[in-house]
Amino acid sequence: MNELSNGLNVDVLVIGFGKGGKTLAATLGRLGRRVVMVEQSDRMYGGTCINIGCVPTKALVRHAESRRRDDSSQEWYRQAVGSVERLTTLLRGKNFLMLDTIDAVTVVTGRARFVDPKTVEVSAGADRLTITAETIVVNTGSEPVIPDIPGLAASRYATTSTDLISTTELPRRLAVLGGGYLGIEFAAMYRRFGAEVTVLEVSPRILRREDDDVAAAAVGILEGEGITLVTGARVTEVRDGDDGATIAYEKDGARHTLEADTILVAAGRSPATRGLGLEAAGIRTTERGAIEVDEHLRTSQPHVFAVGDVNGGPQFTYISLDDSRIVADQLIGTGARSTADRRAVPHTLFMTPPLSTVGLTERQARHQGHQVKIATKPIVEIAAMPRARIVEETRGLMKFVIDAGTDRILGAALLSVDSQELVNTVALAIRHGVTAGELRDAIYTHPSSTEGFNEVLATASAPDVLL
């Protein structure tokens, strides 16, 4: 890296190699814009998803699912971690080359900090480089939240998902603090690898945003795998011992303890803005620490945009990608695209089988005044879905929430094999007004999971009368 006096003046500066940032950098660079991409670590080229998020965790889920009962848990896990490391190394290199091969794009490794609204200083050890840009895009992502629980931050047995997936020693007794998407996903994965798993969740139930029947089906699968789910549990202290930690928690007014040799802190993630010097740039943040943006993802400085987790929106890679489309439309398009255009955004919890949802739950639809009819069926009872039996995964259910007057699909919960793919078809149907009848009568390949729609949607109940 150059000395401070040897600064750069470019068209676009992107801080953070995540999905939204790298997509923008590549798009603008190919158009001849002078772009600098700053990433604080060469281990994070490509962003969170490729290196420590979606790709490695879903690869580990796949390895966990393929372990046979007589396979050595420890050896299988060690091989899985090694395989995933090779995969992320490959993808990291490809992502670097994606930008490095564009003449107009320069990748700089170091920590970025705003000096003023248009100038950023990048540091790497004793080296300093100043970069001035007409347009700046902040894409620094998010970081794990460590709750203020006595003894937790200092515990040598506590870890985050980032560190856990790179550890080759399989935990024997894993305690998961938090029953959200990340906590449940890791609980299911590590149980399949062979660990004893307990989830401590402060809310009165797991998957509280889902309808009761959907949540109950998911909980039944998790408990059937041997995972202990403790809801309404407020952790009060963590105490380290010689070969593990004691976790103290309260439930129903009584005190309890849990022994674990690994504690996964899965209490959510917060926008990564520490050290960015946003104050020097006059960039406002929200009460939760996210960079404040408008519907076009502009910050309080109109030439600065924030994309991905750092702007406080939904923490999904595909949202970051859509963020990049909105910013690109501002810079090289019509400027009409905005976050208000997003409808029926799907989500998937990668337990086994995965739980995918989109649109409204039955509870939400009724609360909004819809007269609804419900189409639902357990996977094991769907005769027209032989794929579930072919892959020997018949657990779960499909549920559709349908507007009784228009036959439009309001939402769906798919707890089944291939649901991460099925939900995209349902989301497209919702966005484009495809009716439940049309989806029911469509022609699907065989044997596939999608053809289950033919049978499930035929069970739609008669309209309810709202009181």
Q: Give per-residue pLDDT as tens, 404-452.
A: 999 999 999 999 999 999 999 999 999 999 999 999 999 999 999 999 9
Is pLDDT at 68 greater than 90 in this prediction? Answer: no
Q: Give per-residue pLDDT as tens, 84-143.
A: 999 999 999 999 999 999 999 999 999 999 999 999 999 998 999 999 999 999 999 999
**Bridge pairing between strands 158-159 and 372-378:** unpaired
CA distance 71 to 115: 55
Looking at the chain, the whole-number percentage of residues with pLDDT higher than 90 is 90
Report pLDDT for 70.
Answer: 83
Residue with tokens 């070969």: 243
Task: Pull the structure tokens for residue 187.
Answer: 């609980």
Partner residues linked to 198 by β-bridges: 175, 228
Report pLDDT for 5.
Answer: 46
Report pLDDT for 52.
Answer: 82
From 237, 267, 297, give the residue that closes a domain.
Answer: 267
What is the rounded average pLDDT of the residues 381-391?
95
Residues 382 and 440 reside in one and the same domain: yes
Name which residue leads in pLDDT, 46 or 232. Answer: 232
Q: Is 446 a catalytic residue?
A: yes
Instruction: List the catalytic residue out of 63, 370, 432, 446.
Output: 446
Q: How many domains does the chain have?
A: 3
Residues 330 and 428 reside in one and the same domain: no
Residues 99 and 77 reside in one and the same domain: yes
> Rounded to two decimals, what is the model's pTM?
0.91
Residues 388 and 353 reside in one and the same domain: yes
Q: Is residue 390 part of a domain?
A: yes
Q: Give per-residue pLDDT as tens, 223-281.
A: 999 999 999 999 999 999 999 999 999 999 999 999 999 999 999 999 999 999 999 99
Report pLDDT for 1.
Answer: 46
CA distance 388 to 390: 6
Report pLDDT for 345.
Answer: 96
Q: Is residue 99 part of a domain?
A: yes
Asked whether 258 and 298 are in contact (CB, 8 A), the reply is: no
Q: Is residue 445 part of a domain?
A: yes
Report pLDDT for 113.
Answer: 97
The CATH number assigned to the domain holding 446 equals 3.30.390.30
Is pLDDT at 313 greater than 60 in this prediction? Answer: yes
Task: Pull the structure tokens for residue 239.
Answer: 């105490």
Report pLDDT for 462.
Answer: 55
Report pLDDT for 98.
Answer: 93
| Average predicted confidence (pLDDT) for the chain | 94
Is pLDDT at 47 greater than 90 in this prediction? Answer: no
Asked whether 269 and 315 are in contact (CB, 8 A), the reply is: yes
As annotated, the binding site for FAD includes 58, 140-142, 309
As annotated, the binding site for NAD(+) includes 178-185, 201, 268
Residues 216 and 169 reside in one and the same domain: yes
Residues 242 and 288 reside in one and the same domain: no
* Domain ranges, residue 166: 158-267
